[in-house]
Amino acid sequence: MFENLAAQPADALLGLIKLYNADPRGDKIDLGVGVYRTATGATPVFGAIKAAEAKLLETQDSKAYLGPDGDMGFVNALIPYVFGKDFDRSRVDGMQAPGGTGAVRLAIEVAKRAGAKRIWMGTPSWPNHAQIVSAVGLELKTFSHMTADGFADLDALKAALAKAEPGDAVLLHGCCHNPTGVDFTEAQWDEIAPLLVEKQVLPLIDLAYQGLGAGMEADAYGLRKVLSLAPEVLVAYSCDKNFGLYRDRVGAFYAVTSDAAALANAMGNGATIARASWSMPPDHGAAAVRLVLEDEGLTAQWLAELDDMRGRMRQVRDRLAAAQQVGPIAMAPLGVQNGLFSMLPLTGEQILALRNDHGIYMAGSGRINIAGLTSSNIEKFIDALQAVTG
Ligand code: PMP
């Protein structure tokens, strides 16, 4: 039977890792895979997480099933960080999910069950968004996320919303847009939020990098602006970047409504979908996050570690922006973009030349992982960029 299956393309980024690993050059640079790296190229476990894991090992007395909601202590402990300390807790409920990916899947499936037939999304986006939308069976409507000069394209979003029907879903990145790094400004969110309400669309906010842009509070601005006006919102959250838990798959799905019965319905449907998909999420990483958030000292340690990450990425961005112009590429916007990624307007040949002639590996889209750059390789990177584009 399997010969009838359509062959699937290999994951391009995983292929890139293989090529990178096989490259013998000592000064090669990996800007491909989307994980944070320190100035020495490591992706270490957070100290706060290590401490929480030690505590977990000592105190956990059972690994019995928890249920499709996962660790609700974890889900609830995150609420003040995501929604704000003063958010009306009766409006929100959530459940743990296997990573931000699982949370996005739940959000899109719940939107479909609630009657959404179409979902609007700025492009380019994280490639898995379109794959999940397709797997769930919603119609994907796209608009441009970024202007040619590297800023958020509010006009394109407005034009899309003008065409949207009540009940359509609209998927927005809360912060640190993947792959462009281009976020809506606070003033733009102030315009977007009332428009979403006016058009009676269902906002679905994907917040996968809180704390990696401008800080935990600042990175939640857009989400909270939307929450302050919209009666119903779905949120897909990931702890995999801001707690460094990638492979432990830590995420949460939240629904916000203005009606208790509607909230129970949203969560009940989420739980049913989870049961039929993964039954219940992996426990370990979420339990570690809960232990961090339940302990003031560990919380402070985690936030300090997150500040260090953000500070390092800012330094890299400042250096890139200071290059001003590299060949035809205006570098200044990289300084105001946020998070792990930015996208350079490079051709396929230029990306190949960077790899073959300079040992610099990046996604075929021109997306670079800012954290792959360090004080010891950034000058080489800028020179190579000049060489291939000049
Ligand atoms: N949303 C976006 C925008 C992402 O970039 C990612 C991760 N690359 C995710 C969700 C999913 O993250 P996770 O690894 O937690 O599944």
Answer yes or no: is pLDDT of 191 > 90.
yes
Going by pLDDT thresholds of 50, 70 and 90, the confidence category of residue 28 is very high
pLDDT at 9: 86
For ligand 1, the distance from its centroid to the CA atom of residue 328, given in whole angstroms, is 31
Q: What percent of the chain has pLDDT over 70?
A: 100
Give the mean pLDDT of 333-337: 96
pTM, to two decimals = 0.97
Q: Give the atom of ligand 1 at the shortest distance from the alpha carbon of 251.
A: 15
Superfamily designation of domain 7-45+298-389: Aspartate Aminotransferase, domain 1 (3.90.1150.10)
For ligand 1, the distance from its centroid to the CA atom of residue 129, given in whole angstroms, is 9
Give exposure, 173-183, as e/b (b: 16+ Cβ within 10 Å). Answer: bbbbbbbbbbb
CA-based nearest residue to 175, from 159, 196, 156, 189: 189
Answer yes or no: is pLDDT of 150 > 90.
no
The H-assigned helical ranges of the chain are 12-22, 47-59, 72-83, 99-113, 127-136, 154-163, 186-198, 221-229, 260-277, 284-293, 296-322, 332-336, 348-358, 378-389
User: Per-residue pLDDT tens for 62-87?
Assistant: 999 999 999 999 999 999 999 999 99
Domain boundary assignment for the chain? 7-45+298-389, 65-294
User: Per-residue pLDDT tens for 284-317?
Assistant: 999 999 999 999 999 999 999 999 999 999 999 9
Answer yes or no: is pLDDT of 21 > 90.
yes
pLDDT at 148: 87
pLDDT at 166: 98
Query: Hey, which residues are catalytic here?
Result: 126, 206, 241
Whether the Cβ atoms of residue 274 and residue 107 lie closer than 8 Å to each other: no
Whether the Cβ atoms of residue 82 and residue 207 lie closer than 8 Å to each other: yes
pLDDT at 160: 98
Q: Give the atom of ligand 1 at the shortest distance from the alpha carbon of 101.
A: 16
- CATH fold for the domain made of 65-294: Aspartate Aminotransferase; domain 2 (3.40.640)
In Å, how far from its chain's centre is CA 60? 30
State the average pLDDT for the chain.
97
SS3 label, residue 331: coil
For ligand 1, the distance from its centroid to the CA atom of residue 102, given in whole angstroms, is 9
> 270: Cβ below 6 Å to ligand 1?
no
> 122: Cβ below 6 Å to ligand 1?
no
> 173: Cβ below 6 Å to ligand 1?
yes
Q: Beta partners for 94?
A: 254
Tokens of 342: 């930015």
CA-based nearest residue to 33, from 311, 337, 309, 370: 370
For ligand 1, the distance from its centroid to the CA atom of residue 101, given in whole angstroms, is 6
